[in-house]
Chains A and B, each alone.
Chain A
């Protein structure tokens, strides 16, 4: 990429230099009536500006092809790779770790220093999986045209992930976070994810939560697979991928974000598939109670 930028800047400078020279030198002067020489062409010059670009293209082509094939290598079944099955939905991301039997959503947890091998597919329309600061993007296609690719990072931290293929009204809001942690923390996180579900302490609220939320969502070993997994949502960096929590630039307390979302999901992500809790008959207190419960549902890792 650096090579191509360098070559291109050199080309730009040459063309601009010629253009500026010509435009200054060969202006028509007042009262000029003679006719300039009608040059048909110049074989040598024309050969030069055909051959030199050809050579430049060749110089660019060699590393390009090498990189394409390196990128195309399938590391999915390689030893030491952490496999992640990514499934995109309108407008959220599901991450499944088949080697660990763990499923999460919106926040991809990865260990540093390890090769993360992805298998990408979509549950509905095309999306494109992209973590700009870690790697290029790859489309998530339906069954039959599933893509694989991989990346890794040595730096712990939180990275922004995005959807890069128009997928509907909330395409621009279909963000996710990548959290790179040490391999030890990662293992702890896996254990915590597999622990039995923690339900609200209040019996009545727990019943409401089970009835209204767990029909689609899951926490721990309970609930359904239709909507994003909520296990440990309180310790994530964002709610719904787009409402940033404290700790991020411009973030708000996680409970506040959860309430914003639960009050009116359509206002946050137009066109998303979640029914508004109020339409399901939840009262303001119940919503507040669930937001409070989820905000405190944290994992230790």
Chain B
């Protein structure tokens, strides 16, 4: 890549700030996700340390509420979401045989808005107190009457900005998967990870606008004095619960579907067998997404919606068990008759199955409204959703990261460390959360900062805390693994697991910036495997070698996000009484908001006025690299 070509190529930090390459954006997402996941993890450990014994005073009640709020919010919105996007960015264009996503510019914009939203939310820790009303932020607890710090404002504005980034990412991937597939790759030939990401993106598109509105309403209540949730002026706090869960329930499927996709890639590869029941897998995914939008009120059985609603939502929720069961059995029967290798990605994938089944089983139990009156808001629920989100989703993501790491970075992760982190993680996980089922059944509510002794809670809580520490050690092993690997030389084969089935394994690791020198021709499901079985060395190209058009790097997405960030801060503090008259002047007169919006819209205008013609990688350059490789 030494060619000083017509386009300016940035180096170092500027390269990362201006990149529109999906592979680099994937790494940015991974770094951001790692950062927030680490913060959320530290919060989790602090929570568990506080609960290690009854009437503990390790942290204060207020701090505890801030910790649980930020732990939930950070993990859901800022921890696992970007790791999912990291995998989607790293893998999907490769799996469908594309040179990039449909909108490289938007891809970068999505990342930076997400990052600045997340940073804004976490700034709350050092700017007067984090949000403290739970990640669900139920009104009226989250209104200014009862939550007097700016914490919840950080929540509404931060999530709004981060959510915008996610929405942009979702639309981008929908368009990418619809229009950028290589010749021959019909929908029913797409790898499962691409399929589940496709459905996830569709769910993002239809679920996130609901929370956007919810957050707007809440911030209008808090900052502009509107009355959406203000009972004394005719507002209705239950409305928030509906809006939140209409988004919130699909959100958990948004999270879990890509993990399903990862498992559906990893298991066939290491069983050397094609995925059992591919079409029913696709069908089950779509069905889960569809049902996912119609079960939100199962979070609200105890709100008092009446028996008719409770009955309908109970049954709809139970029905989700059916497509999920289809998936579980398909995975098991993929391995049936295969030749299973227990590599670290496959360990995580295999660990996923029983763990997720246990989470699913408790899910069906919770779906029954009469039982839920007992389970709701107890540690039983905490155990349930950590089984699906940590034991399920995080296992899936770790499987995916171990699996695609060589593709993303050109270096294999250490297998021994990988296996160590798996065993610490899975044992710690079950230790932490299995006992919480019993805590819930014994009457321990969730979100309590402490509990009285003599209720039979003490030992189980102690066990749970020890488990959490083991889990933390497992994650540390992964971190050490990642860092140690970064110092090793690059140079793994295109198909380092040797049994790669999909297109991403047909190109070098890491792939060149144009991915495919020639767009491949896809002749069936598991395109690469098909060629391998036919005795071919690689994919058959679908086009002659020609110059490749590339989008130009640009700083505008970064600048736009900074603008939104400034506007968000300005909006939050617009009604604040500052002791400093200059601060009052610029905040209370909306000057900060206007400056922020001007930066954002100004950048948008620049983008619109000056066409990006991109640049080309010429044939000679491609051939030269071909020789090098």
Q: Do chains A and B touch in the complex (CB under 8 A)?
A: yes
Chain A positions near chain B (C-beta within 8 angstroms): 1, 4-5, 8, 11-12, 15-16, 18-19, 22-23, 26-29, 32, 35-42, 45-46, 49-50, 53-54, 57, 60-61, 64-65, 67-69, 71-72, 90, 124-126, 128, 130, 132-133, 135-139, 141-145, 147, 160, 162-173, 175, 242, 244, 249-250, 270-271
Interface flag for B134 (CB, 8 Å):
yes
The smallest C-beta distance from B415 to any residue of chain A, in angstroms, reads 15
Known: A124-B140, A137-B376. 14 other contacts (CB 8 A): A11-B357, A15-B328, A27-B339, A40-B276, A45-B329, A68-B370, A71-B307, A125-B146, A143-B231, A168-B141, A171-B445, A171-B447, A172-B61, A270-B62
Chain B residues near A130 (CB-CB < 8 A): 445
Q: Which of A12, A163, A270 sits near B357, CB closer than 8 Å?
A: A12
Chain A residues near B340 (CB-CB < 8 A): 22-23, 26-28
The reply to whether B443 and A162 form a contact with Cβ atoms under 8 Å apart is yes
Interface flag for B502 (CB, 8 Å):
no
The CA-CA distance from A163 to B444 in the complex, in Å, is 10
Interface flag for B544 (CB, 8 Å):
no
Nearest 7 CB-CB pairings of A with B: A136-B373, A172-B448, A72-B307, A132-B443, A169-B61, A28-B339, A249-B454
Task: Give 29 A-B contacts (CB < 8 Å), ordered by A residue.
Answer: A1-B374, A12-B357, A22-B340, A23-B340, A35-B272, A41-B277, A41-B330, A46-B280, A53-B325, A57-B318, A57-B319, A57-B364, A60-B318, A61-B314, A64-B315, A64-B370, A71-B370, A125-B138, A125-B146, A126-B237, A138-B304, A142-B140, A145-B236, A145-B237, A164-B445, A166-B447, A169-B132, A171-B448, A171-B449
The reply to whether B370 and A1 form a contact with Cβ atoms under 8 Å apart is yes
- Given known pairs A124-B146, A136-B374, the reply for A68 and B311 (CB within 8 Å) is yes
Q: Which of B141, B337, B365, B452 sits near A126, CB closer than 8 Å?
A: B141
Interface flag for B271 (CB, 8 Å):
yes
- Given known pairs A40-B274, A41-B279, A46-B280, the reply for A165 and B326 (CB within 8 Å) is no
- Given known pairs A142-B237, A250-B454, the reply for A162 and B311 (CB within 8 Å) is no
The CA-CA distance from A148 to B287 in the complex, in Å, is 36
The reply to whether B322 and A61 form a contact with Cβ atoms under 8 Å apart is no
The CA-CA distance from A49 to B281 in the complex, in Å, is 13
Chain B residues near A143 (CB-CB < 8 A): 231
- Given known pairs A28-B340, A42-B333, A49-B326, the reply for A128 and B304 (CB within 8 Å) is no
Q: Which of B278, B442, B453, B454 sits near A40, CB closer than 8 Å?
A: B278
The CA-CA distance from A175 to B452 in the complex, in Å, is 10
The smallest C-beta distance from B347 to any residue of chain A, in angstroms, reads 11
The CA-CA distance from A67 to B377 in the complex, in Å, is 20
Chain B residues near A37 (CB-CB < 8 A): 273, 337
The reply to whether B146 and A71 form a contact with Cβ atoms under 8 Å apart is no
Q: Which of A4, A72, A163 sits near B365, CB closer than 8 Å?
A: A4
The CA-CA distance from A258 to B443 in the complex, in Å, is 27
The smallest C-beta distance from B330 to any residue of chain A, in angstroms, reads 8
Residue interface mask B302-314, A partner, CB < 8 A = 1: 1110110011001
Interface flag for B578 (CB, 8 Å):
no
The CA-CA distance from A37 to B140 in the complex, in Å, is 60
A-B pairs with beta carbons under 8 A, tally: 254
Chain B residues near A41 (CB-CB < 8 A): 276-280, 330
The reply to whether A141 and B368 form a contact with Cβ atoms under 8 Å apart is no
Name the CB-closest residue of B to A167.
B141
The reply to whether A65 and B314 form a contact with Cβ atoms under 8 Å apart is yes
Q: Which of A1, A35, A45, A64 sits near B333, CB closer than 8 Å?
A: A45
The CA-CA distance from A170 to B64 in the complex, in Å, is 10
The reply to whether B276 and A39 form a contact with Cβ atoms under 8 Å apart is yes
Chain B residues near A128 (CB-CB < 8 A): 302, 376-377
Name the CB-closest residue of A to B69.
A166
The reply to whether B337 and A26 form a contact with Cβ atoms under 8 Å apart is yes
Interface flag for B342 (CB, 8 Å):
yes
- Given known pairs A65-B314, A137-B302, A147-B304, the reply for A172 and B450 (CB within 8 Å) is yes
Which residues of chain B in 330-371 are interfacial with respect to chain A, using CB atoms and an 8 Å cutoff?
Answer: 330, 332-333, 335-342, 350, 353-354, 357-358, 361-362, 364-365, 368-371
Which residues of chain B in 462-479 are interfacial with respect to chain A, using CB atoms and an 8 Å cutoff?
Answer: none
Name the CB-closest residue of A to B450.
A172
The reply to whether B146 and A168 form a contact with Cβ atoms under 8 Å apart is yes
Q: Which of B231, B304, B311 sits near A69, CB closer than 8 Å?
A: B311
Q: How big is the B interface, by class?
A: 35 or more
The reply to whether B376 and A164 form a contact with Cβ atoms under 8 Å apart is yes
Chain A residues near B328 (CB-CB < 8 A): 15
Interface centre among A57, A165, A166, A249, by most chain B C-beta atoms within 10 angstroms, is: A166
The reply to whether B134 and A166 form a contact with Cβ atoms under 8 Å apart is yes
The reply to whether B307 and A136 form a contact with Cβ atoms under 8 Å apart is no
Q: Which of A36, A50, A162, A244 sits near B445, CB closer than 8 Å?
A: A162
The CA-CA distance from A46 to B315 in the complex, in Å, is 22
The reply to whether B377 and A141 form a contact with Cβ atoms under 8 Å apart is no
Interface flag for B598 (CB, 8 Å):
no
Interface flag for B65 (CB, 8 Å):
yes
The reply to whether B61 and A170 form a contact with Cβ atoms under 8 Å apart is yes
Name the CB-closest residue of B to A11.
B361
Name the CB-closest residue of A to B325.
A53
Interface flag for B533 (CB, 8 Å):
yes
The reply to whether B443 and A138 form a contact with Cβ atoms under 8 Å apart is no
Interface centre among A16, A61, A65, A250, by most chain B C-beta atoms within 10 angstroms, is: A65
The CA-CA distance from A130 to B373 in the complex, in Å, is 9
The reply to whether A53 and B369 form a contact with Cβ atoms under 8 Å apart is no
The reply to whether A145 and B238 form a contact with Cβ atoms under 8 Å apart is yes
The CA-CA distance from A126 to B143 in the complex, in Å, is 12
The reply to whether B307 and A139 form a contact with Cβ atoms under 8 Å apart is no
The reply to whether B302 and A138 form a contact with Cβ atoms under 8 Å apart is yes
The CA-CA distance from A181 to B277 in the complex, in Å, is 61
The reply to whether B314 and A36 form a contact with Cβ atoms under 8 Å apart is no
The reply to whether B272 and A137 form a contact with Cβ atoms under 8 Å apart is no
The reply to whether B376 and A49 form a contact with Cβ atoms under 8 Å apart is no
The reply to whether A64 and B279 form a contact with Cβ atoms under 8 Å apart is no
Interface centre among B354, B448, B449, by most chain A C-beta atoms within 10 angstroms, is: B448
The reply to whether A19 and B332 form a contact with Cβ atoms under 8 Å apart is yes
Which residues of chain B in 422-465 are interfacial with respect to chain A, using CB atoms and an 8 Å cutoff?
Answer: 442-443, 445, 447-455
Name the CB-closest residue of B to A169.
B61
- Given known pairs A61-B314, A138-B304, the reply for A133 and B370 (CB within 8 Å) is no
Interface flag for B589 (CB, 8 Å):
no
The smallest C-beta distance from A65 to any residue of chain B, in angstroms, reads 5
Interface flag for B321 (CB, 8 Å):
yes
Chain A residues near B140 (CB-CB < 8 A): 124-126, 142
Name the CB-closest residue of B to A28.
B339
Interface flag for B186 (CB, 8 Å):
no
Name the CB-closest residue of A to B146.
A125
Interface flag for B185 (CB, 8 Å):
no
The CA-CA distance from A90 to B368 in the complex, in Å, is 30
- Given known pairs A26-B338, A36-B273, A50-B326, the reply for A8 and B133 (CB within 8 Å) is no
Chain A residues near B536 (CB-CB < 8 A): none
The CA-CA distance from A136 to B373 in the complex, in Å, is 4
The reply to whether B302 and A139 form a contact with Cβ atoms under 8 Å apart is yes
- Given known pairs A35-B533, A68-B369, A270-B60, the reply for A160 and B443 (CB within 8 Å) is yes
The reply to whether A22 and B61 form a contact with Cβ atoms under 8 Å apart is no
Chain B residues near A171 (CB-CB < 8 A): 65, 445, 447-449
Name the CB-closest residue of B to A1.
B371
